[in-house]
A and B are shown apart, each in its own frame.
Chain A
Amino acid sequence: MSLPETSLPKSPIALHKALDKVWGSGKGWQRFSAVNHTVIGKRFMVTALIFFAIGGVLAMLIRAQLATSGTAFVGPEIYNQIFTMHGTVMMFLFAIPMLEGLGIYLLPKMLGARDLAFPRITAFGYWCYLFGGTIIVLSMVFGVAPDSGWFMYTPLSSNVYTPGINADVWLLGVTFVEISAITAAVEITVSILKFRAPGMSLNRMPIFGWYMLVTALMMIVGFPPLILGSILLEVERAFDLPFFDPTRGGDPLLWQHLFWLFGHPEVYIIFLPAAGALSTIIPVFAQRPLIGYRAIIIAIVALAFLSFGLWVHHMFTVGIPHLALAFFSAASAIVAIPTAVQIFAWLATLAHGKPRFDVPMLYIVGFFIVFVLGGLTGVMLAMVPFNWQAHDSYFVVAHLHYVLVGGFVFPMLAAIYYWMPHVTGRQCVHRISVPAFWLIFIGFNLTFFLMHLTGLMGMPRRIYTYPSAFGWDWLNLLSSVGGFLLTMGFALVATDMILQFNFGRQFGRNPWKAGSLEWAMPTKPTSYNFASLPEIDRRADNLDVGRIAPELAAGKGYLGFVREGRMETIGVDMTTGKLEHVALLPNSSYLPLISAILTGGAVLSMLFSLYWLALILAFCVVGSFVVWSQTNVIKPNIGLLDVGRGEKLPPHTEVDGPVSWWANVFALLANGTLFASLLFGTIYNWLVAPNWPPQEIYTPGWLELGATAGFVLAGAIGPLIVRVNRNGGPFIVPMAVLAIVYLVTLALLGIALAAMPDPRGHAHLATTLMLLGYGALHCFIGLVFLLNAAIKIARGYIVHGALLELRIAQLWHVYTAVTGIVAVAMVLLMPYLIGLLERTP
């Protein structure tokens, strides 16, 4: 391909105009079509902060109710909604989206890319979050907010004891938001791995990138257990299939295991990005590079693994044998080590440097004090005997707020003050930043430090009032006073932000003298981030921003031009950061909004038990995704593209491992975790739940064997399609065969499911239905893949040698085959396993 005319050197202004025309998001109604990561990242953070304010008001209501003994402000029904919503809003609608927003906004800028891997998915994730969050919050207005606690323990949350739609709001709303979180996590993972500046090998990546990479991977593995738990519980509530009901072979503890398998890693998922911000900010203010870059990376990877091995420390009082508890206790204590490594790396950085003070540093000192205390009480709670006393008392309330506010809110406030100039292009004027900090710091400690004692004096959590005889009055009153100070502090911070946004002092480049790439661009940022992309030759948190920035603006880096009105950025080799391909990104689109509205409609239909409508809307959602795939299609056989600086690279459709292929790998990893959780649930109920063996045992027959054969065939034909295409053969033939295989397998599974005894009778039958249903659903989606490819073949986009679409579909076919075989094997094995149960006395 010849050198495009637009690649000729231009003046920086002309280059800016040309790039902004392609990358800009549009005004007015066109804002709804925005897919740009800067725009979406800001939307995520602002929305999260609004939900934070809502959660804060709820906290104030709690403190008002508990300020004195015997308050008649609200009754238990309202109070239960308030504390459930406080926890839910803060965890799911504030903390997770806030860190996603921060990552979405910052990562491409720090890593030297122009956008994230899937701009439309970013937008879709935002709309899902907004709609899901709105459903959850609006339920409060209608008085049907969830009221079973943010942990939703069964049987309390089952439809026997919570008959209204309150619990359904939680299950559906949170699942909606979680799915958006997983899409964001997949996108962040592949963006970090593939979309970096050339030369930025993994060991040159800024430390924040490492933190977000580990966080995103943890989300991919950590969220599916809760999503599965929510699906099972919603199915139990809606269709009366028992999974957690102890009278029908389920077990309430299964919910707790699934919930905390998610819930504990969640704490680290929230903490790590905040720690990443600290690791970025502290060296800037210590005026020396971060000490222990490698040690920190090892520490956070270790933390990620450990955090999946200690969920049981939330369940020390459920009656698990003491020696098993001791194991989890030790694991919980060990997790303090990676945290200590980070704390001491930061301390060493400060102690070796020449620290200077500014508002972000105030919050970092606040972080040190609050978080270290939270960590110490965390170690205390990890000790089994102490946990038996402190569990579910206000001691835990104090601990978790010290960890989450200390480990997330304080660093986020530091981050907001640090990066706010980047977002607004204006610097903060100190007047009210400092008193705001002191109000927050004093208010926080007054509120929560005393709660340690309140808990040790025996105040259990989630009681709506208490008599004065227990001696908790003065503690609670002071906590409430502290709470209101804290609120005033946050109100001041909000005021400060608004003032800064409107009246802040404008500044030249790089106000903090930082060494990372996000400052090597105009602030506030342009839609395309960098007018041209840099070549990185050292660790990317120690760059000479003052030298790089003007060169990039002048178009002297890679891709310093516009080609055919396309949005382009560079994809690199995962580990070495060598140039690999040009990623051609889709432009602004209303499709994400439309798909999110359809998904929201499906969720609402399920909420109001309109299951047929929900099914129709679900089909519409699938259809809309096919439309996504059919728009912005890239022509086959483009060949090498010029990227400037004398380099030519293929487009992403013509390399082996572009982001879309890797994204599917990680999405299937999440899916696989969900499937593994389902297997875990099946085996757990068999092993532990009461009322086993069941009276009616499902004995599989030739239908299941036929389905197994179908899955084996799918696993063989999927790769065959790709091979035939590569060899220039008629690849449409194996595609047609695979479609028939899928249809037959679907039919066999359908007949098997229809002929099953009533699955409402026992957890054994209910899980069997879920396992076979899982296989059937995957066959159906496999058909959608084939249909999508067939349309592209008809439109001339998939020709011989255009492998990417087929290779992505191959991943799905093989995954379907493997999980389908395992699912059916599990069903085949169940009668034998139940037989074992009968033989043991």
Chain B
Amino acid sequence: MIEYKLSTMPSGNASENRSKNRQGQPVRQNFIGSNQANTPVGSGDSQKRHGCNGMGPTADTGANAPHQQKLGGSNDCRRYAENKGRPGAPDARAQEKWIAGKPVEQVEAQCADDQRNGEMNAHGVNRMTGNGDCRRDVVLGDFLNDRTGIVFGFAHFASRGCASVATATLKRLRLFLTPFVLLALTACTGPLSTLEPAGPSASLIATLWWVMLAGSAVLFLLVMALLTMAYLRPGFGSNVPAMKWVLYGGLVMPVIVLTALVGYALVVGERILAHPGTAETRVGAHGQMWHWTFTYPDYPEIGETDVLHIPVGQPIDVIVTAEDVIHSFWVPRLAGKIDAIPGHENVVRIEADRVGVYNGVCAEFCGAGHTEMRFAVVAHEPEDYPAALLEAAQ
């Protein structure tokens, strides 16, 4: 089997070569979706929403103060982020520990070191976007934009209400709710959390999830209410003819709900898809027991890296291949996963909204080293990207 080394080929020809000749190279191209033109995924609104997200990994030691302000509906978060979040700028408050986040340049330097040392495993554990509290506020900020308003809307109303109306009752309500909202949000965040999206694809899917969760909650409560009523008030259902129960509950309701849901999901899927020719950058991800190597067909002079470097704010098509057994490429905060299958070539589109380090894992069981097959994606400002790549390749 011929190894997949895009870096050794002229960038433009790589894919044509592969698809033409099945005999020579055991790879078949498997572009998802049709050829239709499509508006760029993750358009303006998504970036706008993340207005305060353009920060590097941050470390915030004064954790609690910003929280409460944010819940009060203040815009401090944005200012805060703008002040300190100039991408790549050294952060005065950055701590020594990586887990709290490091300025991107330092991270990259370390990436290069690791690459030389071949210590892949360390990435997954220690390197991630800063887990500073401000980002949690960002999540709240997203709720303000109705992204997930259905579920957490009540919290939002409660918190905004107390900032403007400031009645005693609402204050008490706010005091009561704040810890719960914070807990719920803390519970959902994490370096691999699909519920803390950092790119348009992951954001769309997270929204889909919250919508489905809300709908499911309603349906579940409906069934439970009927079941409870059957016991609390025996015979309560005999007003409704027997077959109407089955007709409305078993047929009409699911048909309506499912039609709407399938349509919605189809639209979301089409927006996420890697439609051929609409991505500005292509990178290769090659899975091998048990590590990933990344290649850059657009930058033929760059060799393989074991950290994936991407520019922020633009869709990137990752061409995923495998050397030996099936692996799966998954960066939960950026997009869904795609399998790396020997003999096949799959494409997944990722995009990061802000500079940072994003963790990835192998999601398909691939033997004894499956657990350790993690990797990191570093997102750079587009203008810094070529330099960062050159540095990474050294």
Are the CB atoms of B268 and A389 closer together than 8 Å? no
Are the CB atoms of B251 and A337 closer together than 8 Å? yes
Are the CB atoms of B26 and A247 closer together than 8 Å? yes
- Which of A120-128, A378-386, A546-554, A799-807 is the contact stretch? A378-386
CB neighbours of A392 from chain B (8 A): 328, 330, 337, 363-365
Are the CB atoms of B34 and A323 closer together than 8 Å? yes
Output the least CB separation between B305 and chain A (Å): 22
- Which of B141-149, B234-242, B291-299 is the contact stretch? B234-242
Output the least CB separation between B97 and chain A (Å): 11
B109-150: CB near A (< 8 Å → 1, else 0) gives: 000000000000000111010000000000000000000000
Q: How many Å lie between the Cα of A386 and that of B234 in the bound state?
A: 40
> B175 on the interface (CB 8 Å rule)?
no
CB neighbours of A513 from chain B (8 A): none
Of B34, B188, B338, which contacts A456 at CB under 8 A? B188
Output the least CB separation between A748 and chain B (Å): 33
> B54 on the interface (CB 8 Å rule)?
no
> A829 on the interface (CB 8 Å rule)?
no
Are the CB atoms of B346 and A323 closer together than 8 Å? no
Q: How many Å lie between the Cα of A336 and that of B256 in the bound state?
A: 12
Q: Tell me which of B255, B269, B328, B335 has the highest count of chain A C-beta atoms within 10 A of its own C-beta.
A: B269
CB neighbours of B250 from chain A (8 A): 295, 299, 337, 340-345
B239-283: CB near A (< 8 Å → 1, else 0) gives: 010110110111101110010011001101110110000000000
Of A322, A334, A465, which contacts B258 at CB under 8 A? A334
Q: How many Å lie between the Cα of A350 and that of B227 in the bound state?
A: 8
Q: How many Å lie between the Cα of A459 and that of B191 in the bound state?
A: 11
Of A355, A385, A453, which contacts B231 at CB under 8 A? A355
CB neighbours of B63 from chain A (8 A): none
Q: How many Å lie between the Cα of A460 and that of B326 in the bound state?
A: 15
Given A351-B238, A354-B235, A690-B343, answer yes or no on A376-B216 (Cβ-Cβ < 8 Å).
yes
Are the CB atoms of A253 and B344 closer together than 8 Å? yes
Of B189, B212, B248, B325, which contacts A386 at CB under 8 A? B212
Are the CB atoms of B337 and A456 closer together than 8 Å? no
Are the CB atoms of A337 and B254 closer together than 8 Å? yes
CB neighbours of B216 from chain A (8 A): 373, 376-377, 379-380
CB neighbours of B237 from chain A (8 A): 347-348, 350-352
Of A368, A377, A456, which contacts B195 at CB under 8 A? A456
> B14 on the interface (CB 8 Å rule)?
no
Given A457-B188, A470-B191, A471-B193, answer yes or no on A317-B339 (Cβ-Cβ < 8 Å).
yes
Which positions 7-44 of chain B face chain A at CB distance < 8 Å?
Answer: 20, 22-23, 25-28, 30-34
- B26 nearest CB neighbor, chain A only: A690
> A292 on the interface (CB 8 Å rule)?
yes
> B229 on the interface (CB 8 Å rule)?
yes
Q: How many Å lie between the Cα of A108 and that of B124 in the bound state?
A: 58
> B371 on the interface (CB 8 Å rule)?
yes
Are the CB atoms of A459 and B223 closer together than 8 Å? no
Are the CB atoms of B246 and A383 closer together than 8 Å? no
Of B220, B326, B336, which contacts A155 at CB under 8 A? B326
> A199 on the interface (CB 8 Å rule)?
no
> A462 on the interface (CB 8 Å rule)?
yes
Output the least CB separation between A711 and chain B (Å): 34
Chain B residues within 8 Å of chain A by Cβ, number: 100
B301-317: CB near A (< 8 Å → 1, else 0) gives: 00000000000000000
Given A295-B243, A322-B270, answer yes or no on A457-B192 (Cβ-Cβ < 8 Å).
yes
- B250 nearest CB neighbor, chain A only: A341
Are the CB atoms of A319 and B30 closer together than 8 Å? yes
Are the CB atoms of B226 and A340 closer together than 8 Å? no
Given A155-B326, A321-B33, A352-B235, answer yes or no on A292-B243 (Cβ-Cβ < 8 Å).
yes
Q: How many Å lie between the Cα of A388 and that of B330 in the bound state?
A: 9
Are the CB atoms of A326 and B266 closer together than 8 Å? yes
Of A340, A471, A688, which contacts B190 at CB under 8 A? A471
> B332 on the interface (CB 8 Å rule)?
yes
> B366 on the interface (CB 8 Å rule)?
yes
**How many contacts A-B (CB < 8 Å)?**
306
> B376 on the interface (CB 8 Å rule)?
no
Given A155-B326, A322-B33, A467-B125, answer yes or no on A383-B261 (Cβ-Cβ < 8 Å).
yes
Output the least CB separation between A370 and chain B (Å): 11
Are the CB atoms of B272 and A76 closer together than 8 Å? no
Q: How many Å lie between the Cα of A153 and that of B20 in the bound state?
A: 28
Of B27, B204, B346, B362, which contacts A460 at CB under 8 A? B362
Are the CB atoms of B251 and A341 closer together than 8 Å? yes
CB neighbours of B124 from chain A (8 A): 467
> A329 on the interface (CB 8 Å rule)?
yes
Are the CB atoms of B245 and A155 closer together than 8 Å? no
Interface residues on chain A, size class: 35 or more
> A139 on the interface (CB 8 Å rule)?
no
Output the least CB separation between B362 and chain A (Å): 7
CB neighbours of A320 from chain B (8 A): 30, 32
Given A161-B367, A343-B223, A457-B192, answer yes or no on A352-B187 (Cβ-Cβ < 8 Å).
no
Output the least CB separation between A381 and chain B (Å): 10
Are the CB atoms of B209 and A319 closer together than 8 Å? no
CB neighbours of A317 from chain B (8 A): 328, 336-339, 363
A705-741: CB near B (< 8 Å → 1, else 0) gives: 0000000000000000000000000000000000000
- A315 nearest CB neighbor, chain B only: B339
> B94 on the interface (CB 8 Å rule)?
no
> A333 on the interface (CB 8 Å rule)?
yes
Are the CB atoms of B254 and A336 closer together than 8 Å? yes
Which positions 332-364 of chain B face chain A at CB distance < 8 Å?
Answer: 332, 335-339, 341-344, 346-347, 359, 361-364
Q: How many Å lie between the Cα of A351 and that of B369 in the bound state?
A: 54
Q: How many Å lie between the Cα of A692 and that of B27 in the bound state?
A: 11
Are the CB atoms of B341 and A386 closer together than 8 Å? no
CB neighbours of A472 from chain B (8 A): 190
Output the least CB separation between B117 and chain A (Å): 19
Given A153-B326, A318-B339, answer yes or no on A347-B365 (Cβ-Cβ < 8 Å).
no
Output the least CB separation between A332 and chain B (Å): 9
CB neighbours of A342 from chain B (8 A): 250
CB neighbours of B368 from chain A (8 A): 76-77, 80
Q: How many Å lie between the Cα of A334 and that of B126 in the bound state?
A: 44
CB neighbours of B230 from chain A (8 A): 347, 350-351, 353, 355
> A469 on the interface (CB 8 Å rule)?
yes
> B224 on the interface (CB 8 Å rule)?
yes
Of A247, A384, A467, A688, which contacts B265 at CB under 8 A? A384
Q: How many Å lie between the Cα of A340 and that of B223 in the bound state?
A: 10
Of B20, B194, B266, which contacts A457 at CB under 8 A? B194
Which positions 75-121 of chain A face chain B at CB distance < 8 Å?
Answer: 76-77, 80
Q: How many Å lie between the Cα of A464 and that of B370 in the bound state?
A: 9
Are the CB atoms of B335 and A388 closer together than 8 Å? yes
CB neighbours of A463 from chain B (8 A): 361, 370-371
A249-280: CB near B (< 8 Å → 1, else 0) gives: 00111000000000000000000000000000
Q: A350-B227, A385-B265, A458-B191 are known contacts; what are 14 more A-B pairs with Cβ within 8 Å?
A: A153-B326, A246-B341, A292-B246, A329-B266, A348-B249, A385-B268, A386-B265, A391-B363, A458-B361, A460-B363, A461-B365, A465-B371, A688-B28, A692-B22
Chain A to chain B contacts (Cβ below 8 Å), 30 pairs: A76-B368, A80-B365, A153-B365, A155-B326, A252-B341, A322-B32, A322-B33, A322-B269, A323-B34, A326-B269, A330-B262, A341-B251, A344-B246, A344-B248, A351-B229, A372-B224, A385-B204, A385-B205, A385-B268, A386-B212, A388-B336, A389-B332, A392-B363, A393-B363, A456-B194, A457-B188, A469-B128, A469-B191, A470-B190, A471-B190
Q: Which residues in A have some Cβ–Cβ distance to B below 8 Å?
A: 76-77, 80, 148-149, 153, 155-156, 160-161, 246-247, 251-253, 291-292, 295, 299, 317-323, 325-326, 329-330, 333-334, 336-337, 340-345, 347-348, 350-355, 357, 365, 368-369, 372-373, 376-377, 379-380, 383-393, 453, 456-467, 469-472, 688-693, 841
Per CB-CB distance, the 10 closest pairs between chain A and chain B, nearest first, are A388-B336, A351-B237, A458-B192, A246-B343, A344-B249, A341-B250, A348-B245, A471-B190, A319-B346, A690-B343
